[in-house]
């Protein structure tokens, strides 16, 4: 995960990347339109980011870094760690509910997007590693960590996508979501750790 600090101009440009992707997708995204939305000169984008591909990668890097900061690290408190992971993913799914369908629709055919998505895969790996640690601790059933990850966060991403079609996004009870996950994945009693 990157701990890169983004200045105000870079932040405006990266926000504009997401806004432009929501408008027309990543494939049709142009640095000219990003500059216009960000209120900067197009030359600034090339100086700061190098190319369209690097710009898209930076947007993914920033998003993964923000989610990673919220996910945190393994603490040994299963409930707290899972609740933090779920909250981070639900927050991202809600914040990017317009962008996720765009990503999914272009991922298979857009090389720039696939390359940039590596940052997202790093985040998936981070969460899977936390889940694997709890499996090794004997608190979660042994299964491929990516399957455990999909069981934990997949419903949140799905709701984030579907919520785009609803007048108001659904509420998610974080503690209840974790409890339901643990009903199928915990190895012992479901007492909340204190």
Rounded to an integer, what distance in angstroms lies between the CA atom of residue 39 and that of residue 34?
Answer: 8
Kindly state whether residue 2 falls inside one of the protein's structural domains. Answer: no
| Structural domain harbouring 90 | 52-185
pLDDT in the model for residue 123: 84
Say what the pTM is.
0.82
Tell whether 137 is covered by a domain: yes
Q: Is residue 31 part of a domain?
A: no
Q: Per residue in 60-112, pLDDT tens?
A: 888 888 888 899 999 999 999 999 999 998 888 777 767 777 787 777 888 88
In this predicted structure, what is the pLDDT of residue 42? 93
Which pLDDT score is estimated for 194? 43
The total of other beta-carbon atoms located within 10 Å of residue 169's CB is 15
Higher-confidence position of 93 and 23: 23
Lowest mean pLDDT among 92-96, 109-113, 120-124, 137-141: 92-96
Portion of the chain with pLDDT greater than 70, in percent: 95
Q: Helix 52-71 to helix 8-24 angle, to the nearest 10 degrees?
A: 100
Beta carbons within 10 angstroms of residue 106's beta carbon = 17
pLDDT in tens, 148-163: 999 999 898 888 778 7
Concatenate the DSSP letters of all residues of 64-112 into one string: HHHHHHHH----S-HHHHHHHHHHHHHHHHHHTTTHHHHHHHHTTT-HH
pLDDT band at 28 (very low <50, low <70, confident <90, very high): confident
Q: Check which CATH number belongs to the domain holding 162 and give it.
A: 1.10.357.10
Asked if pLDDT for residue 1 goes beyond 60, the answer is no
Q: Which two structure tokens, joined as six digits, stand for 68?
A: 């990673």
**What is the number of structural domains in the chain?**
1
What does the pLDDT average to over 5-34? 89
Beta bridge partners of 140: 186
Residue 15 covered by a domain: no
CA 127/CA 134 separation, integer angstroms: 11
Nearest to 34 by CA among 93, 176, 48: 48
Q: Could you report how far apart the first and last alpha carbons of the chain are, in Å?
A: 30
> Would you state the structure tokens that stand for residue 185, as one six-digit string?
């994945």
b or e along 36-62 (b: 16 or more beta carbons within 10 Å of the residue's beta carbon)?
ebbebeeebbeebbeebebbbbbbbbb
**9 lies in a domain?**
no
* Mean residue pLDDT across the chain: 87
């Amino acid at each position: 995960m990157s701990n890169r600090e983004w200045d105000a101009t870079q932040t405006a440009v990266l926000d504009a990347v997401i806004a432009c992707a929501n408008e027309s997708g990543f494939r049709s995204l142009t640095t000219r339109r990003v500059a216009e939305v960000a209120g900067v000169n197009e030359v600034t984008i090339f100086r700061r980011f190098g190319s369209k591909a690097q710009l898209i990668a930076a947007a993914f890097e920033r998003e993964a870094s923000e989610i990673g900061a919220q996910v945190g690290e393994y603490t040994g408190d299963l409930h707290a760690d899972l609740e933090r992971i779920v909250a981070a993913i639900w927050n991202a799914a809600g914040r990017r509910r317009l962008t996720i369908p765009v990503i999914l629709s272009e991922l298979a055919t857009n090389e720039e997007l696939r390359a940039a998505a590596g940052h997202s895969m790093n985040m998936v790996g981070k969460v899977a590693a936390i889940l694997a640690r709890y499996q090794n601790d004997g608190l979660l059933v042994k299964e491929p960590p990516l399957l455990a990850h999909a069981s934990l966060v997949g419903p949140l991403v799905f709701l984030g996508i579907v919520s785009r079609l609803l007048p108001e996004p659904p509420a998610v009870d974080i503690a209840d979501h974790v409890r339901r996950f643990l009903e199928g994945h915990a190895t012992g009693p479901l007492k909340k750790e204190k």
